[in-house]
């Protein structure tokens, strides 16, 4: 598969090469990095050639041995400002290709298990990264939020939005608890119109329960594979979202005007784990509240654009900045 050029006329010397492991949550963070810095990019898939390749990559990288025979890629040449990637399936290829292409290497998320000698690492605070001159610590995931016009508010109407995820390795969703939370929310906002969206992880059981309520607009991912979250954030007074996705939470606290309320997925979910640490950090910063049956006006937003531009000028020194 050939690299996919972004639609822009900039030369490759001012472009980024984004490596993809096929996981949207990883690739989207790399794309967000490029878009915040107003840099064009090409996307190329990479993968280890055999199952034991990743284990070898940890050993090779610790010994500073970088060989392209370990992974599959169609990148042979090019002029790029940097190679950028997120996910353990990409970090070894990142360092190898950056050496071959004689450009910078940028890791999105903390590359645990690999030497932290990338030219730049953008790590989340909840991963507790070490203090190093090449590490930028940000409080949320890298995200770039842009409304798509998928919902249209009516003049004079007020809106709240429900963003419902699903089971994850963090917690399994308690359907009855979610139903109780929704009953509370509807009772708190009798004069607001309600928008709803689900995700690819929303189970059929949860969807059946959600259909018991009335919405001004409901987007069920099982039927419409669109993402109206940015539009919800732009137009809603309050956004309520389940505590299963750091990406959804990061979007909610980095864009729009909405007050943000997180819905615990179980009675005891918000105790331990990285996503819960992220939520606690954002509560302390006044960016969101944990829904307990009442609401708080927490709508402080984090400008990733400002953080990245300031820090990138200091550490990455791309020619276009």
Tens digit of each residue's pLDDT (9 = 90 or more) over 41-81: 999 999 999 989 999 999 999 999 999 999 999 876 778 99
Which band of pLDDT confidence, cut at 50, 70 and 90, is reported for residue 9? very low
State the average pLDDT for the chain.
90
pLDDT band at 307 (very low <50, low <70, confident <90, very high): confident
**Residue 216 φ/ψ, nearest 5 degrees:** -70, -35
Residue 194: phi and psi, rounded to 5, are -120, 130
User: Residue 297 CB: number of other CB atoms within 10 A?
Assistant: 9
Q: How far apart are the first and last CA of the chain?
A: 30
- Give the whole-angstrom CA distance, residue 120 versus residue 108: 9
- Model confidence at 320, in pLDDT bands (50, 70, 90)? very low
- The CA distances from residue 64 to 56, 67, 193, 208, in Å, are 12, 10, 57, 53
Residue 159 has pLDDT above 70, yes or no: yes
Q: Residue 12 has what DSSP assignment?
A: G
All CATH 3.40.50.1950 domain ranges in the chain, comma separated: 159-290
Question: What local confidence, expressed as pLDDT, does residue 74 receive?
Answer: 82
Q: State the fold for domain 4-139+307-315.
A: Rossmann fold (3.40.50)
Residue 14 pLDDT grade (very low, low, confident, very high; cuts 50, 70, 90)? confident
Tokens of 154: 């009516």
Q: Any bridge partners for residue 290, and if so which?
A: 262
> What is the rounded distance in angstroms from the CA atom of residue 95 to the CA atom of residue 103?
10
pLDDT (mean) for 276-295: 93
Report how far residue 84's alpha carbon sits from residue 87's, in angstroms, rounded to the nearest whole number.
11
Q: For the whole model, what pTM was predicted?
A: 0.85
Domain 159-290: homologous superfamily in CATH: Flavin prenyltransferase-like (3.40.50.1950)
Q: Residue 41 belongs to what H/E stretch? A: strand 40-45
pLDDT at res. 1:
42
Q: Which residues pair with 196 in a beta bridge?
A: 162, 218
């Amino acid at each position: 598969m050939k690299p996919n050029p972004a639609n822009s006329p900039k030369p490759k010397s001012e472009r980024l090469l984004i490596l993809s492991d096929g996981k949207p949550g990883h690739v989207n963070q790399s794309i967000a990095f490029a878009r915040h810095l107003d840099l064009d990019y090409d996307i190329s898939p990479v993968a280890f050639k055999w199952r034991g390749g990743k284990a070898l990559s940890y050993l090779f990288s610790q010994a500073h041995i970088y060989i392209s025979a370990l992974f599959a890629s169609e990148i042979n040449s090019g002029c790029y400002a940097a190679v950028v990637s997120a996910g353990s399936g990409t970090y070894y290829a990142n360092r190898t290709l950056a050496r071959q292409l004689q450009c910078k290497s940028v890791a999105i998320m903390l590359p645990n298990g690999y030497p932290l000698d990338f030219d730049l690492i953008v790590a989340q605070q909840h991963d507790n990264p070490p203090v190093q001159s090449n590490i930028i610590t940000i409080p949320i995931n890298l995200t770039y939020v842009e409304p798509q016009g998928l919902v249209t508010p009516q003049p004079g109407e007020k809106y709240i939005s429900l963003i419902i995820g699903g089971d994850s390795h963090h917690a399994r969703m308690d359907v009855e608890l979610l139903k109780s939370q929704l009953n509370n929310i509807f009772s708190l906002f009798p004069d607001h119109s309600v928008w709803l969206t689900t995700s690819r992880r929303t189970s059929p059981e949860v969807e059946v329960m959600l259909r018991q309520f009335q919405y001004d607009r409901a987007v069920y991912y099982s039927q419409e594979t669109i993402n109206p979250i940015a539009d919800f954030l732009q137009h809603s007074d309050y956004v309520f979202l389940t505590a299963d996705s750091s990406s959804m939470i990061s979007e909610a606290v980095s864009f729009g005007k909405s007050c943000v309320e997180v819905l615990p997925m179980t009675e005891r979910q918000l105790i331990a784990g990285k996503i819960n640490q992220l939520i606690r950090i954002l509560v302390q910063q006044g960016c969101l509240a944990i829904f307990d049956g009442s609401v708080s006006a927490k709508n402080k937003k984090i400008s990733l654009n400002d953080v990245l531009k300031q820090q990138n000028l200091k550490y990455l020194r791309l020619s276009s900045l």
